[in-house]
Amino acid sequence: MIHFAYPELGLVLLCLPAFVYYFLPPVKGIHGDALRVPFINDLKAITLKSGHLWTSHGMTSGRLSKVSKYLLCITYILLAVAVARPRWVGEPIKIKNEGRDILLVLDISTSMLERDFTLNGRRMSRLQAVKIAASEFIDKRRDDRIGLILFGTRAYLQSPVTFDKEAVKNILVSMDAGMAGNSTSIGDALGLALKSLRKDKNKDNKIIILLSDGENNDGSLSLPQAINLAKNENIKIYTIGVGNSANFIQSILSYKMPLPGGVDETGLKAIAEEAGGRYFRAENTDGLLKIYEAINRLEPQSHEDSYVQEIKEYYYVPLLGAFIISLLLMIIKRRKA
């Protein structure tokens, strides 16, 4: 469908000559009014008798002068049309909704090997439960970009935020406890996550989901420092503490050495509160699945349809026509001369 981007401007230019002709007074010559020649009629008579001025060349010059006026008018009209900017606009096309940037930050220290989770009556490690829950969460984020950071003693960006969810899930499946070290550097992991999402300054809807089963006992960035960083960024952070509270008692009853430390709920709660998120505690597989589902509800996807329209500019067509006619007028002027 053809329409004009600036029709009002084109209309004003088309009406401008008529306005000048009818509403502005005529401009006098440099030397004032034209001279009155009393013997003009005698000159006409002499011309008619001699016939020298009314040659075929003179008639041709008159016709060319009239043609030049018409071409000049057409050139002006074409320029006015070009200024109005004709364009073709296609049918609206629905585009994919732009979702959020979600960065999963997962603890893969050796304590994640503790087998205190169950699914369908089968015991499994915390890491196996995290893989299942995180994979289901990724599948439900249809229009979001997902990224992944794994941390232990060190934090590593395994995948920046991307629409390639299958690639992120493949990394989840292949990860193993202890790959990033045996200790827990929550501060470093959170600092790396904030730095990764900070690069895209044009996007506001960014989310971090931090999951850990221990306390910050390693790394160069302390938890208070990480919390201060989180406060300064417009990035929402959800934290999940993983671990069965009955694990300590079971270890004593079974004459096993209880695991040192535990979930730093105070620190994880502080991070979530300062960053506008929430803290969750997952003590079993079902609880972990429900937590991811709760986050899914807290961060609903936008289903408002967005549309784009293809636009092709055609202002150059009348502009080219005006240029060609201008060249033709120059040729006519040289011929008249």
Name the burial class of residue 277, with classes exposed (0-12), middle (13-18) and buried (19+) by CB atoms within 10 angstroms of its CB: buried
- Predicted local confidence at residue 246, as pLDDT: 52
Q: What angle do CA 160, 274, 139 make, to 5 degrees?
A: 35
Does residue 96 fall inside a structural domain? no
Q: Which residue has the higher pLDDT, 36 or 287?
A: 287
Q: Mapping DSSP to helix (H, G, I), strand (E, B) and coil, where does residue 76 land? A: helix
Does residue 39 fall inside a structural domain? yes
The answer on 119 and 71 residing in a single domain is no
- Predicted local confidence at residue 253, as pLDDT: 41
- Predicted local confidence at residue 220, as pLDDT: 81
Range list of H helices, the chain = 7-23, 40-50, 56-84, 126-140, 165-174, 186-198, 223-232, 247-253, 265-274, 285-298, 316-336
Lowest mean pLDDT across 71-85, 124-138, 141-155, 281-295: 281-295
- Tell me how far apart the alpha carbons of residues 123 and 114 are, in angstroms, rounded to a whole number: 10
The answer on 217 and 84 residing in a single domain is no
- Predicted local confidence at residue 256, as pLDDT: 43
pLDDT digits (tens, 9 = 90+) for 163-182: 899 999 999 889 888 888 88
Does residue 182 fall inside a structural domain? yes
| CATH code assigned at 275 | 3.40.50.410
Range list of H helices, 107-183 = 126-140, 165-174
pLDDT digits (tens, 9 = 90+) for 206-236: 889 999 887 777 778 888 888 888 878 878 8
| Count of structural domains, the chain | 2
Provide the whole-model pTM: 0.58
The rounded mean pLDDT for the chain is 78
At residue 274, what is the residue type? E
Q: Mapping DSSP to helix (H, G, I), strand (E, B) and coil, where does residue 151 land? A: strand
- Tell me how far apart the alpha carbons of residues 60 and 52 are, in angstroms, rounded to a whole number: 14
- Predicted local confidence at residue 62, as pLDDT: 64
How far, in Å, are 40, 162, 220, 271 from residue 233 at the CA level?
90, 21, 20, 12
pLDDT bracket for residue 251 (50, 70, 90): very low
Does residue 169 fall inside a structural domain? yes
Q: Which residue has the higher pLDDT, 323 or 57?
A: 323
- Predicted local confidence at residue 149, as pLDDT: 93
User: Which residue is it, tokens 């934290």?
Assistant: 239
Does residue 134 fall inside a structural domain? yes
pLDDT digits (tens, 9 = 90+) for 77-122: 999 999 999 998 888 776 555 578 889 999 888 888 888 787 777 8
The answer on 68 and 115 residing in a single domain is no
The answer on 23 and 159 residing in a single domain is no
**Phi, psi at 187, each rounded to 5°:** -60, -45
- Tell me how far apart the alpha carbons of residues 212 and 216 are, in angstroms, rounded to a whole number: 9
The encoded tokens of residue 6 equal: 């600036």
Does residue 303 fall inside a structural domain? no
The answer on 209 and 183 residing in a single domain is yes
The answer on 234 and 137 residing in a single domain is yes
The answer on 279 and 197 residing in a single domain is yes
The answer on 195 and 73 residing in a single domain is no
Give me the domain span that covers residue 206. Answer: 101-298
The answer on 123 and 38 residing in a single domain is no
Does residue 292 fall inside a structural domain? yes
Name the percent of the chain lying above pLDDT 70: 77
CB count in 10 Å sphere of residue 100? 20
The answer on 123 and 7 residing in a single domain is no
User: Strand pairing partners for 162?
Assistant: 146
At residue 173, what is the residue type? V
- Predicted local confidence at residue 320, as pLDDT: 93
The answer on 272 and 198 residing in a single domain is yes
- Tell me how far apart the alpha carbons of residues 271 and 47 are, in angstroms, rounded to a whole number: 104
The answer on 222 and 128 residing in a single domain is yes
Q: What is the DSSP string of 84-98?
A: H-EEEE---EEE---
